[in-house]
Structure 1
Amino acid sequence: MSICESDAGAELLNKAVLSALPGVSDLHTPPSAQTSASADAWNCPVNGCMQTVRPFDLTQQQRELVVTLSGDPDAMVIQDSRGRVRLRRRDPWMFLRYIDAIAWDHLSWHLHRAHITFYYPHPSKPYKECPGWWWSDVLLARDRSLQLEVTELEASAKQDRRQWIVTKAIDSAQRKVQRACARLTRWRYNALHARRELVSDMFSLDRGLVEVGRALLALVRQQESDPATAAYSEEIAHYRAVEMEWTEEQYIWF
């Protein structure tokens, strides 16, 4: 899994991976699944590379890697009667995972030459995460033009992300203002309708003008004390302030 700030950056990184590992199409499948019969050997799939992992005849470098990962010089390696150092087979699960680790570590060497850091799961833990790769800032310093290209892509991605966040925040605030305004408008319409109904009903019952006026005034005061109107007004004011804040933020960044 490539780790980048943008699709363009990920595309550049993945192209670099393909260039560094010609012939390799899958970095996620454990290398132990690609070994020859009876887990006899894993051959590096990179075109032109002759590196081989023989679990029953480890090189000195491979042995040192296994010892480093296991934390014990005898936990996962043993020397046979012929003097060859091999992986221990008493735990088949661990046996296969250390083949994975040795193979992935070799592939990381290829990627290191392309200024890429390669991560793979520790062999002693269940595979709950995939291998990943990203640009190494330290290694990129060796290639100024590539470093500049990666930096520009990352800066552009950050700017695009900021623009996306600001735009979404403003749109969200505007929608919430519109929703609150619509609710307040509906409330006002219902309030006016209730007043008209009251006046019409009282006049139809031959009530006097003064009595109708007092009843209407009481209804108006009752409606004005309704907490819904204050809530809608506060909601409108709040989200208008949010909209203004994000709009100002937009001017700062852009």
Structure 2
Amino acid sequence: MPYRKPPFCGTRWRRLNIFWSKTRGRIPISWCDIQSPINAIGGLVEITEFFVALYEQPDRAKEILSVLADEIIRFTKIQTGLIGAALARPGHGFASARVGKGVGLSTDNLVMISPRMYLEFCAADTARIGREFGGVAIHSCGNWGRWLSAVKQIPGLIMVDGAFSYKTDPNPCVCEEFRDALTGTGIILQARIVGEPQVVLAHVKRLWRPGMKLIVVTHVQEPEAQHRLYNAIHELCQ
């Protein structure tokens, strides 16, 4: 069936076309902030009613999430065709590059269901989306360490993203939970840590150990201070 562009996609297409026409692919472009099915469903129905359906109509809920996964794959492939060789992956919110791989999925609603329910209702579709793009990266706001053991079971998981300071998120992740769960697995942790340099370094000390694949995202207003922090993080993670 030929793709029919829905009205809400118009802004995305226009922005891609404008940016591409101005840069001609010289500057990398990522996909939009791609939402996982459990997030996307909230834009279609009242999310509390859908959570009830997970209990009362589980088969119907799985069918709906599977259809959304199909559309996410199709929409993302269309973006890929429009962006072409300028595509930076895994995409929005993640450290990305043209030589990157996988697709990033915002999955904030995972904290609204139990880890067991995440595995039952979300893991298979997430893995299926990842297979289409060479792997999957998972983001959630908030403290989602309790769900990490479930997320780690997704085949093709290449990266997870979390906030680790109070200036980044009012309910940040616990460093040791992610460090202990991910060290030696080959799964990359992207740790967003906004704050003063000493705060950032204190969190990095808690996160880092040999065998950990760690990307630290910081934000310091003063460029020279940001550069010093960059060097200090590299010295620490030896």
TM-score of Structure 1 vs Structure 2, range by shorter chain: under 0.3
Asked which structure has the greater RCO (Cα within 8 Å, sep 6+), the reply is: 1
